[in-house]
Amino acid sequence: MRFHLRSRSGEEIVLYLRPGNPSAPIEMAGPANLCGTVSTLLKMSLTGLSATSDDLLSLCEYDPVFRHWFRLDAVVKDGDPEPAHREDAKFAAMEPIYPSQVAAMRLGERLTAASLVTKEQLDEALKGIQEQMPHLQIGEILCGRGYLSHRTMEFFLDPITKMNTAFLTLRLGERLQAAGVVIDRDVHRALQCQQWLPLSLGRLLVLNGAVSQATADFFGRLSIEPSSLS
């Protein structure tokens, strides 16, 4: 059984009770700081980090200290679809993004559209080119300042080649990994969580804070050109 919680800042964390155990260990996935806060709150009311589903539900819904920090968004039984987070349903409701559309943008526009850099970071890099480092390209400045990896920059420099049919047939988590948006350590942690938490790799990467929801949405919306399907 999965308990989807939302922090006061709007971040999500998922608690999971493995089936077949009356008082099961509580597993969790989400940003490390939130996992630490939840662990502390749970230990205040539970013996260790294990509980029955009724005990955990009661704590999430009625404990005033717990509710001060988190609200319960949903409870999902094993085998049921995950409400509001099904990748296929979510992205089907969004307009697709085609490689040709990405290629028509300037590099900075591609990166901001994917929420990989902010407008402020882009403006800062452009100012650096104009005033201090005219010999550098904008991508070199963004990478040099640690805003994104060289691998991701290379991916966005040539969207037509990189966003090919093989790439677009990958699942969300695989796309993020192929584009260098997440690193091996992020994927390893998500795969570890996936052993006990039945969520997609992409969802776990977002939950664990490895990638923003906006960036995940961009990569999830990338679609094969209609002309390629005819």
CA distance 139 to 112: 12
Output the average pLDDT for the chain: 86
Q: Which two tokens stand for residue 16?
A: 């999971």
Whether 202 has a pLDDT exceeding 90, the answer reads: no
Asked if pLDDT for residue 227 goes beyond 80, the answer is no
Residue 144 has pLDDT above 50, yes or no: yes
End-to-end distance of the chain based on CA atoms, in angstroms?
A: 43
Give the integer Cα–Cα distance in Å for 161 and 183.
22
The half-sphere exposure of 117 on its side-chain side, counting CA atoms within 13 A, is 26
Nearest Cα to 13, choosing from 78, 27, 174? 27
pLDDT digits (tens, 9 = 90+) for 92-123: 457 899 999 999 999 999 999 999 999 998 88
Q: What is the pLDDT of residue 88?
A: 46
Say what the pLDDT of residue 89 is.
47
Cβ(139)–Cβ(107) below 8 Å: yes
Asked if residue 147 lies in contact with residue 115, where contact means CB atoms within 8 angstroms, the answer is: no
Per-residue pLDDT at 162: 95
What are the pLDDT digits (tens) for 47-99? Answer: 778 888 888 899 888 888 899 899 998 898 877 666 554 444 455 457 899 99
The span from the CA of 38 to the CA of 218, in Å, is 30
Residue 19 in this model has a pLDDT that exceeds 80: no
Q: Check residue 229 and give its pLDDT.
A: 53
Sheet arrangement for strand 2-7:
50-51, 24-29, 12-17, 2-7, 70-76
**What's the CA gap between 71 and 61, in Å, rounded?**
8
Q: Is 65 exposed, middle or buried (0-12, 13-18, 19+ CB in 10 A)?
A: exposed
pLDDT at 125: 82
CA distance 167 to 222: 10
